[in-house]
Amino acid sequence: FLSFFSSTKTQNFCRNEYNLTGLCNRSSCPLANSQYATVREEKGRCYLYMKTIERAAFPRRLWERVLLSKNYEKALEEIDENLIYWPRFIRHKCKQRFTKITQYLIRIRKLTLKRQRKLVPLRRKIERRENRREEKALIAAQLDNAIEKELLERLKQDTYGDIYNFPIHAFDKALQQQEAESESESEREEEDDDDEGKREFVEAEDSELSDFEDMDKLETSSEEEQEEEEEVEKESSQSKSKGKRPLKGPARRKRPYIEIEYEEETEPGTKTKAA
Amino acid sequence: AGEGSAPGPEDGAGPPAPQRVLFPPTFSVSEIKNKQRRHFMFLRWKQQQRKEKLALKKKRRKEREALGDKAPPKAVPKTIENQRVYDETTVDPNDEEVAFDEATDEFAPYFNRQTVPKILITTSDRPRGRTVRFCEQLATVIPNSHVYYRRGLALKRIIPQCIARDFTDLIVINEDRKIPNGLVLSHLPDGPTAHFRMSSVRLRKEIKRKGKEPTEHVPEVILNNFTTRLGHSIGRMFAALFPHDPQFIGRQVATFHNQRDYIFFRFHRYIFKSEKKVGIQELGPRFTLKLRSLQKGTFDSKFGEYEWIHKRREMDTSRRKFHL
């Protein structure tokens, strides 16, 4: 009877399908006992299997099967009435087994109602391939460059409006044309208007204008044109260098107006005047 | 037969003994039985090949310089992007049909500024620490988004509730073994559902040289390289997550960059140093997505109508064919 025997470190088990307790003992071996009973379930219904000595000669009819009712208490009564006059051990163990079976059937039914987690097997080769491809795609993407390019594109296309102080294109155009032309002057003056709206240079503009007003009072009118031109060009050069030295702009202007304002063009002349 | 005699005359003043040896014409390195000697001969052969290649390059360069202006233009190296199999569903910017489709599809109300996006972020059951933190960070990145934990509720049942509460999009982050690995993005009032595989998720603390936390300003959105029809619709899905009017004061930008069917998500803060230079600093999480399927209606795995599924055997056959 050891053909169904399997053992672990702590216990010995019987693998016979008709075994009542699952352990390999003399009392719970279906082969060793001529009168034996088990409860087994098939497709969610429980059956009571019985083996009696009268049918020992007919192996095909050896195990008699009785369907148990779905009602738990009624099924227990059925077990009792079928196994009347049977040893206590077998009756008790049958009822215990039946209880366990009904419990796990209930659990199965509850779980199938909930969402089951679908396990999708990973394929190692495919995982590796995809990881490799992802790395290569990342390298090919050059994300930082792409993002920077896109942002600069947007800046060029004026999506940011007036927030940033880099009005590039107009200034490039202005630089290309001759400075003496009226067109370029008008462009620059328009730019100056834009500049006046911007944060950084508002006070400088005011101080400059005020400076020039003061200077106007001091000097003759013939120099006013010169001053205007210089002012305009000063501003244009200022705005050109805005991107590079934004901080120096106001700082420069706060210095005494004697020196800096006219550095570009008529330096010798103005210096003598200032002095 | 040429390999034996060719290296001889080209060798200049190389190291004396090995270089002057000529291989007999019918010699092949693989025929030596002794492994050490074979290895040695192979290395020598390799060195000779490299020398030849270098000499060839130099010669070509000299020729180019000698020709000056008349030199033929440099050959463009082949890349996978260059060699990409032309996809007939590539969107032409002037295509009227596409424009018409986009005017009438499910995202039209968003693009016409009739709806403001409101997003629900949730996970699969029992999210573990990493997923939870990732959800939180994602919620800070996407404005007007809320994280709700799903304690065993069926998706099919929460969708009508979401629609009732005016959510426009639903993001479900699927988790496996304590890391997020899938993303389901569903546009709610009966919109398309996209299922992605998510990989290389980096939380904020794992990103090097990151900046401070993303602020509440609405970020800009950059969508790169979405060329085909499918890519276009996915791109619009992503765009519909963010409010239409970015706040430029915040100087934040969220990027979805598609490269070879992998969509890389990055979140940066930019600053214009000058008109030709911009500096970007990465803040916020990053992850990559790969599209697995696109469904027409809302999330329904059994009865949904699939617009596109990634079929490995059919679609992964060519290295140069991409679908997005």
Look up the CATH number of the domain holding residue B186.
3.40.50.10480
Q: Where do we find the tokens 């109300």? A: B109
If asked whether residues B50 and B135 sit together in one domain, one would say no
Q: How far apart are CA B169 and CA B164, in angstroms?
A: 12
Which of 255-274 (B) contact A at CB < 8 A?
255, 257, 259-262, 264, 266, 268, 270, 272-274
| Alpha helices, DSSP H, located in chain B | 2-5, 7-10, 16-19, 35-67, 96-104, 108-111, 129-141, 155-164, 229-239, 312-315
In a domain, residue B20? The reply is: no
Residue B323 lies in a domain: no
What mean pLDDT value characterizes chain B? 83
In a domain, B310, yes or no: yes
Are B63 and B97 in the same domain?
A: no
CA A46-A47-A50 angle, to 5 degrees, is 150
Q: Are residues B137 and B37 in the same domain?
A: no
Here the ipTM equals: 0.77
List of domains in chain A: 5-113 (3.30.390.110)
- CB nearest B268 (choices: A126, A147, A155): A147
Is B264–A115 a contact, with Cβ atoms under 8 angstroms apart?
no
Cβ-defined contact of B259 to A140 (cutoff 8 Å): yes
- If one compares B114 and A143, the residue with the highest pLDDT of the two is A143
Considering only residues B28 and A71, tell me which one the structure prediction assigns the higher pLDDT: A71
Number of Cβ atoms within 10 Å of the Cβ of B299: 19
Residue B57 and residue B105 in one domain: no
pLDDT (average), residues A137-149: 91
The number of residues making up chain A comes to: 275
Q: What is the pTM of this model?
A: 0.64
Residue A113 is given by DSSP the state H
The domain total for chain B is 2
B62 in the same domain as B95: no
Between the alpha carbon of residue A35 and those of residues A58, A76, A77, A84, A97, the distances in Å are 14, 20, 20, 13, 18
pLDDT for the residue A1: 63
**Residues from A in contact with B at Cβ < 8 Å:** 114-115, 117, 126, 130-131, 133-134, 136-138, 140-141, 143-144, 146-148, 150-152, 154-155, 160-161, 163-164, 166, 168, 243-244
Chain B residues lying within 8 Å of A117, measured CB to CB: 125
Q: Which of B70, B102, B119 marks a domain boundary?
A: B70
- Whether the per-residue pLDDT at A85 is higher than 60: the answer is yes
Rounded CA separation A40/A47 (Å): 5
Please compute the mean of the pLDDT values over residues A202-213 and round it to a whole number. Answer: 41
Q: Which residue of A has its CA nearest to B289?
A: A134
User: Domain for residue B199, yes or no?
Assistant: yes
Residues of chain A found within 8 Å of residue B79, distances taken between Cβ atoms: 140
Instruction: Based on the fold, state whether residues B137 and B43 are members of the same structural domain.
Output: no
Domain with B44, as residue range(s), is 29-70
> How far is residue B217's CA from residue B186's CA, in Å, rounded to a whole number?
24
| B272:A164 CB<8 A | yes
- Give every residue of chain B whose pLDDT is below 70, as ranges: 1-25, 71, 299-302
- The partner residue sitting opposite B278, judged by closest CB among A148, A163, A244, is A148
CA dihedral B310, B314, B317, B322 (to 10 degrees): -40
What confidence category does residue A226 fall into, taking pLDDT thresholds of 50, 70 and 90?
A: very low
Q: Are residues B130 and B34 in the same domain?
A: no
Domain boundary among B42, B70, B98: B70
* A chain contacts of residue B276, beta-carbon cutoff 8 Å: 152
- Residue B148, min C-alpha distance to chain A (Å): 19
B140 in any annotated domain? yes
Question: Is B62 in the same domain as B127?
Answer: no
